[in-house]
Amino acid sequence: MSITRIAVTSERSTYAVTIGAGLLADVARRPDRYGLDGQRLVITCPPVWRHQRTRLDALVPEGQRPAILPDGERAKTLDNAARLYQACVAAHLDRSATIVAAGGGIVGDVGGFVAATYLRGVRLVQVPTTLLSQVDSAVGGKVGVNLPTGKNLVGAFHPPALVLCDTDVLTTLPPRQFRAGMFEVVKYGVIASRPLFDRIGRKLAAILSQHPSVLPKIVADCCRIKAHVVTIDERERGPRRALNFGHTIGHALEALTGYRRFLHGEAIGDGMLAAARLSVMRGTMAPSEEAELRDLLLRLGRRPRVSDLRATDALDVIARDKKVVAGRLHFVLARGLGAVEVVSDVTTGELREAMRAIGMRE
């Protein structure tokens, strides 16, 4: 088995993102090698436990059951975090314990938030089981929950002790879920690597079929970019904001539809198109590169409609976004394909025009 290890340096320590096909089988054989032989609680969700139980069962202590979080973005609530705290109490976790968050971005965010706050912080191991969580949300230490008024408004920075990315688990994902993760993969090409963007386009069929010669390398390349950004700016005071390309409008689309219509990556796809349009309007991106991005995203398949959503309502959501600092929105523009810049002077009129360009109503 070929394993790739990528180091991420946080304020507290350096941890490894470990990537490989069949990795969880190795963890099951040698849990002590991964620091998973002590007191712990596995947090997961119903579809992950249903499909991955044979891989995850070895991580659950004998005589214990995993704590099950409801599936979907709407599960990212303080109420569900409180239920998980009670599961920690029932499992008699102390400060030496490890919380294992085994699932997609929702499980990782909520499970990580519980790890950050239970007993003022316990060890966290992320076991991401979706493409989106493997390339993005499981790396970097951002954890949190949503409020009715917006996404990730309550949270913390709590770096994991370890991230375990077994690309074999992705074979059980519904095609829509896997394709949703691909929007974040494309994002990494846009913000940091034109060669990665081009390779995604050339190898898209092999990636979508999860060919073992292609997929682990794509995951590793995205994780390397994320690791570099997080290492130089863990708390998002500057360069890490680049990772939010497409997220300002994407998060607004999710909130406007009650987190029911879009998978996260799908919303980010529309958000990237709007950000690209604004970049062209500003003269930082060539129309031909915007067209390349649009064509690649079209090849990933249809996304939910936006034609019934109002730009005015989205602007209200954006005004409450956590990327607004001292009354100024930090917005990520593309400087072509492979680089971005963060600006804080985007106007309401520009945002309206960008949203109309992706089909939203006035």
Q: Give the residue numbers annotated as catalytic, written as ranges.
A: 120, 142, 184, 226, 236, 240, 244, 247, 251, 264
**Rounded (10°) angle between helices 311-319 and 348-357:** 130
Q: Which amino acid is at 316?
A: D
CA atoms within 13 A on the CB side of 158: 26
Distances in Å between the Cα of 147 and the Cα atoms of 78, 83, 155, 279, 286 are 8, 16, 11, 30, 37
